Amino acid sequence: MSGYDYDDLVRAARAQITEIGVPDLAARLDAPPLLVDVREPHEMATGVLPGAALVPRGALEKGIDHVAPDRDAEVVLYCTVGNRSALATLVLEQMGYTSVSSLAGGIAEWRASGLPVEMPLPGDDTARYARHLVLDEIGPEGQERLGGASVLVVGAGGLGSPAALYLAAAGVGTLTIADPDVVDVSNLQRQILHATSGIGTHKTDSAAAALARLNPGVVVRTRTVRLDASNAEEIAAGHDVVVDGTDSFPARYLLNDTALRLRIPLVHGSVLRFEGQVTVIDPYAGPCYRCVFPEPPPPGVSPSCAEAGVLGAVAGVVGSLQAVEAVKLILGAGEPLAGRLAVYDGLAGDLRVFTTARDPACPACGDPSAPPPLVDYDETCRPVRP
């Protein structure tokens, strides 16, 4: 069989490129060239060369521009022993880098020579967000924007769980989790923020612990209350995006009206059985929830998940779509689902997007100068009379 194996490729690469030896690089530590670690993030976690930029090999072609925009800058790539970095050096030469070399012997020989390595700083999230940093739509600027953003997730249940987990993983700087309930064993089939050990504890506490384990860099605030007309505005104020993971029509209409009053974009999601709906309410720019569904269904037509059931993974799909929309809103990337309703049918394996429109006569958003009053609704969404 003809062709090349890994050793052949590395040998050929090393014959073509420039290598720099460990003693030569060590001699230049006072004014080093740009060092780029091309290993995987879990390898970087055990230590990196002082001042190195972290761009894993798999993200090299897209990511190198962020750390070395100047193609004539002197760049030294390294990995563990100098093989991957030799292959990577060839690639950068093809990309037009004129002064790139590979550290012969890699960080292994560097360490063996007693030279210093440093731990990636806890605040240095380059490795954590490496897969974001190479995305044109995110990159370092977008990641910083995510870090500066705050999102309110209402409901730490089937939708709020995946939404909050992905938003925390994405590095959204501040997450507020609002939920009045405690974890019940029947929640665990779909509410993946919570574990068996958390049964009986407040969902907000269970959620905060899970999110801190996932990403300690995220500030998690908890509000262990049920949203109502008296507190909704105060709880939602100051957030950049609100994610609706509630489980009742009164809460959904209340959140819609709150988002209108505060002019905060709202990411709506709902599920039942194998089906789900997602839309973005962009206050006064696109249709609100009442423009699409002026009234809730009469009792008995739209049962709750407790009555009718839901596949946990369908809540996962819908909550994840909500996280995608929240991230897009924060970044200003792509086309938010404003003015569109995504309808997922898990059994059919079908995701369709329908166009919705503002209702000029909408009682909630028809008149931008008269935002809707906040009132508590009963299950049929008629105002509760005191």
Q: Taking the complex as a whole, how short is the minimal distance between the CB of residue 315 and other proteins, in angstroms?
A: 4
**Is 361 a residue that touches other proteins (CB under 8 A)?**
no
Provide the 3-class DSSP secondary structure of residue 265: coil
**Is 357 a residue that touches other proteins (CB under 8 A)?**
yes
- Out of 105, 155, 198, 265, which residue is the one contacting other proteins (CB under 8 A)? 155
Q: Taking the complex as a whole, how short is the minimal distance between the CB of residue 73 and other proteins, in angstroms?
A: 50
**Is 181 a residue that touches other proteins (CB under 8 A)?**
yes
- One DSSP character per residue, 11-47 reads HHHHHHSEEE-HHHHHTTTTS--EEEE-S-HHHHTT-
- The C-alpha atoms of residue 293 and residue 343 are separated, in whole angstroms, by 14
- The C-alpha atoms of residue 266 and residue 247 are separated, in whole angstroms, by 15
Q: Residue 137 or residue 184: which is nearer to other proteins going by CB? A: 184
Q: Residue 31 or residue 301: which is nearer to other proteins going by CB? A: 301
**Is 160 a residue that touches other proteins (CB under 8 A)?**
yes
Type and span of the H or E element at 285 = none
Q: Which residues inside 265-324 make contact with other proteins, applying CB under 8 A?
A: 269-277, 289, 292-298, 301-305, 308, 310, 312, 315
Type and span of the H or E element at 346 = none
> CB under 8 A: which stretch of 90-98, 111-119, 217-225, 343-351 binds other proteins?
343-351
Which residue, 316, 319, 355, is CA-closest to 337?
355
Q: Which residues inside 20-39 make contact with other proteins, applying CB under 8 A?
A: none
Residues 6 or more apart whose CB falls under 8 angstroms from that of 315 comprise 157, 158, 159, 161, 162, 190, 271, 276
Q: Residue 71 or residue 358: which is nearer to other proteins going by CB? A: 358
**Is 372 a residue that touches other proteins (CB under 8 A)?**
no
- The C-alpha atoms of residue 89 and residue 16 are separated, in whole angstroms, by 10
Q: Taking the complex as a whole, how short is the minimal distance between the CB of residue 312 and other proteins, in angstroms?
A: 8
Provide the 3-class DSSP secondary structure of residue 276: strand
Provide the 3-class DSSP secondary structure of residue 351: strand
Residue span 70-109 as binding mask against other proteins, x where in contact by CB under 8 A, dash where not = ----------------------------------------
Count of residues engaged in binding other proteins, rule: CB under 8 A = 55
Q: How many CA atoms lie within 13 A of 269 on its CB side?
A: 30
Q: Residue 14 or residue 252: which is nearer to other proteins going by CB? A: 252
Expressed in angstroms, the distance from the first to the final Cα of the chain is: 84
Residues 6 or more apart whose CB falls under 8 angstroms from that of 328 comprise 334, 335, 336
**Is 159 a residue that touches other proteins (CB under 8 A)?**
yes
Q: Taking the complex as a whole, how short is the minimal distance between the CB of residue 311 and other proteins, in angstroms?
A: 9
Residues that bind other proteins (CB under 8 A): 155, 157-160, 179, 181, 190-191, 244-249, 252, 269-277, 289, 292-298, 301-305, 308, 310, 312, 315, 341, 343, 345, 347-348, 352-359
